[in-house]
């Protein structure tokens, strides 16, 4: 027997095998691709081909949003008007003397030289073009992207200043926001009255309520207490409204409360939002990285 024909027959058998089970092999290949998409995305929140896909879904979502605005703008107007009202009262112009040197400028300077303060947060407005509340992982799409200076990990607030979520993916004209209604989204918050910190998360049940844990029972918590954003986040400014305590779930096994928190932002009719940029984010993140390296 010669060696060469054996090799040729071996190859032939492989080809026959592939041909015979071609559908099953194709099925397995497509399954592996889908699962690979799923696993890599869940880990890093980076979808394959997201940039192009985001542009296309964004186009459809913008069309849809225009129609939806017609029905929902009234409620949004009310919220924005209320916020404007509170801001109008804060304007420096309300208290200014009649002085020719005073003029109103939009404050985007990094340093306020008169009071020796530096600017830490910049707000950009954006419009929500698509969002869901009935999945277990809910995302919002907004109509500002990297062209407008939006970057990953920026915080997102509702038009009334309450917390909505944070940016996780950016394309040139659109961004994806992981809302608080996402089972993997955990945010550090404070009870405003007692200043004790805890972690808030969503249990995928009711889109109106979040769950707050780690508040010790030595605090006296009442229904209706205000929950605000904590001071530990790099992307979300502290002291922003998150929600109010709706229910205190009895749990005798630990010395911590389980609180059901009603969100201030109504996730079903989000329209206009603010994207917050922390100008010190790079420096703070770098310091954290270097600290980790030194410890290791």
Partner 1 sequence: MSGLLRNIIRFFLFILLQVYLLNKIPPLHQYINPYIYYLFILWLPFNISRANLMFIGFFTGIVLDYFMMTPGIHAAPCVLIAYLRPFVIGILTPKEASEFNYREPSPKAMGWTPYLVYTLILTLFHHGYMVLLEWLSFGSILHFIIKVIATTGISMLLIITTELLFPRKMRFRTNTA
Cβ partners under 8 Å of residue 65, min gap 6: 127, 128, 129, 130, 143
CB of 20 to partner 1, least distance (A): 13
CA–CA separation, 231 and 237 (whole Å): 7
Out of 135, 283, 289, 290, name the contact with partner 1 by CB under 8 A. Answer: 135
Task: Compute how many residues bind partner 1; rule: CB under 8 A.
Answer: 41
37 forms part of the interface with partner 1 (CB under 8 A): yes
For partner 1, the binding residues in 101-130 under the rule CB under 8 A are: 130
The Cα-based distances of 99 to 93, 103, 186, 268 in angstroms read: 11, 9, 49, 47
For partner 1, the binding residues in 148-187 under the rule CB under 8 A are: 176, 183-184
134 forms part of the interface with partner 1 (CB under 8 A): yes
From residue 40 to residue 69, what is the string marking binding to partner 1 with x (rule CB under 8 A)? Answer: -xx----xx-x--xx-xx--x---x-----
133 forms part of the interface with partner 1 (CB under 8 A): yes
| Tally of CB atoms within 10 A around 198 | 22
86 forms part of the interface with partner 1 (CB under 8 A): no
Nearer to partner 1, 76 or 225 (CB): 76
Q: Which two tokens stand for residue 59?
A: 């186009």
DSSP letters spanning 172-196 = SS-EEEEEEEETT--EEEEETTT--
Nearer to partner 1, 11 or 33 (CB): 33
CA–CA separation, 112 and 94 (whole Å): 19
CA–CA separation, 150 and 162 (whole Å): 19
Residues that bind partner 1 (CB under 8 A): 22-23, 26-27, 30-31, 33-39, 41-42, 47-48, 50, 53-54, 56-57, 60, 64, 130, 132-137, 139, 141, 176, 183-184, 204-207, 268
């Amino acid at each position: 027997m010669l060696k060469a024909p054996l090799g040729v027959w071996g190859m032939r058998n492989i080809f026959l095998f592939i041909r015979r089970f071609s559908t099953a092999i194709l099925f397995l290949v497509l399954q592996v691709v889908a699962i690979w998409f799923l696993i890599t995305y869940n880990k890093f929140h980076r979808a394959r081909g997201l940039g192009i896909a985001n542009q296309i879904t964004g186009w459809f979502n913008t069309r849809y949003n225009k129609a939806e605005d017609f029905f929902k703008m009234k409620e949004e107007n009310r919220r924005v008007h209320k916020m404007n009202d509170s801001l109008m009262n804060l304007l420096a112009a309300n208290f200014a003397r009649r002085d020719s040197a005073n003029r109103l400028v939009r404050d985007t300077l990094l340093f306020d030289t008169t009071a020796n303060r530096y600017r830490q947060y910049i707000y950009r407005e954006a419009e929500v073009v698509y969002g869901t509340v009935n999945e277990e992982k809910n995302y919002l799409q907004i109509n500002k992207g990297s062209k407008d200076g939006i970057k990953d990990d920026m915080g997102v607030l509702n038009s009334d200043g309450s917390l909505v979520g944070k940016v996780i993916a950016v394309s040139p004209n659109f961004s994806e926001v992981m809302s608080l209604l996402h089972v993997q989204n955990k945010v550090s918050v404070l009870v405003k009255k007692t200043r004790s910190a805890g972690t808030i998360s969503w249990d995928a049940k009711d889109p109106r309520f979040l769950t707050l844990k780690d508040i010790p029972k030595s605090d006296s918590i009442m229904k209706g207490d205000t929950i605000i954003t904590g001071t530990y986040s790099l992307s979300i400014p502290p002291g922003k409204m998150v929600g109010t305590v709706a229910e205190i779930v009895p749990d005798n096994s630990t010395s911590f409360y389980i609180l059901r928190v009603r969100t201030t932002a109504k996730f079903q009719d989000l329209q206009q939002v603010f994207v917050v940029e922390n100008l010190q984010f790079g420096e703070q993140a770098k310091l954290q990285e270097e600290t980790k390296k030194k410890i290791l």
